[in-house]
Amino acid sequence: MYQIRDLESYTEMLTVRELQQQIWGFDDSSLGLYPPVLKTAATNGGVVLGAFDEQSGQMIGFLFSFIGREKSGLFKLCSQNMGVLPEWRRYGVAEALKQEQRRRTIAQNLPLITWTYDPLEGPNANLNLHKLRAISRTYIEDYYGSDFGALNAGLPSDRLLVEWWVSGPRQEREKAPDYQAVSPIFTVTGQGVEKEISHADFDLTADIIELESVPDIHPIKSANMELALDWRLKIRQAFATYFAKGHIAVDFISTVTNGERRNCYILQKSTPELLTEIGIE
């Protein structure tokens, strides 16, 4: 159905820029990835991948990453951008791109890949924390400002920093743990675009806690921007509070009951055993 390979030619780098502008909804042709930087990264240790429709040869997705370094001095791969055309989502393209990135990272003897994403985007959270088994313990407020493309319009561009320790023992587990009887931070009422947080508890002491997120932020933004902002700010406060207490976002659970989706982050108290399982150096 599709294949993934390294991008090498300058023409392919131009196509990446066009795809990004289309996927992110940029209305300014000057915005987006700079093709010479993509070309330079691809020839100097970075990982620049494309996903292609096998029948048409059309590029349907891309991933751009480059070598960086933690403040501790640890070298890593920084995953800057990944995008998949809307009509090709739900076919596993994004996960396949990331797994190929992981293989290239391991081959370079790098232990870590980092990137950021919007914590209100459920599909991204499900990919990053559930399917890939990455983790997060850093919340960044308004990372790109409030005018970062049509998808982000109207809200501060808050981000979670993802850490994917590519050789950690948790990467070899057949399935994620079944988290039971976790303590919820939020009491949530309503359904659909009217779902709202009626109470928040920032004093929980449990080792494993649950942080409920929106089922889909985009319909809420269209129906009630004030409510969407309330979700943004309360989730910001929850992550900041519990990260400061030593919890780590270790999973994301998305379920559907009677047609209603429920998205929840799982936050677990940091322990030496958990850090070893993740593979944190």
Structural domain that includes position 45: 2-172
Provide DSSP, 6-62. Answer: E--SHHHHHHHHHHHHHHHT-S-TT-S--HHHHHHHHTTT-EEEEEEETTT--EEEE
Residues 165 and 191 both lie in one domain: no
pLDDT of residue 236: 98
Among 172, 200, 229, the domain boundary falls at: 172
> Given 142, 172, 202, which residue is the final one in a domain?
172
**In the prediction, which pLDDT does 146 show?**
66
Q: Say whether both 117 and 220 belong to one domain.
A: no
Predicted pLDDT of residue 171: 93
Query: Does some domain include residue 119?
Result: yes
- 143 belongs to a structural domain: yes
Residue 147's pLDDT is what?
61
Whether residues 107 and 242 fall in one domain: no
Task: Give the H/E segment covering residue 135.
Answer: strand 135-140
Whole-number Å distance between alpha carbons of 35 and 280: 33
As a whole number of angstroms, the longest Cα–Cα distance in the chain is 55
> Are 222 and 140 members of one domain?
no
- The DSSP output letter for 169 is G
pTM value surpassing 0.75: yes
| The pLDDT of residue 187 | 97
Whether residues 227 and 196 fall in one domain: yes
In a domain, 141, yes or no: yes
50/138 same-domain check: yes
User: Does 155 lie in the same domain as 17?
Assistant: yes
178 part of a folded domain: no
Question: Is residue 177 situated within a structural domain?
Answer: no
Structure token digits, residue 86:
């809307």
| Residue ranges of the chain whose pLDDT lies below 50 | none
Instruction: Give the chain's domain count.
Output: 2
Task: Note the pLDDT of residue 173.
Answer: 83
The pLDDT, as a whole number, for residue 281 is 82
Q: What is the CATH number of the domain that holds 131?
A: 3.40.630.30
Give yes or no for a contact between 254 and 261, defined as CB atoms under 8 angstroms apart. yes
Looking at the fold, whether 82 and 214 belong to one and the same domain comes out as no
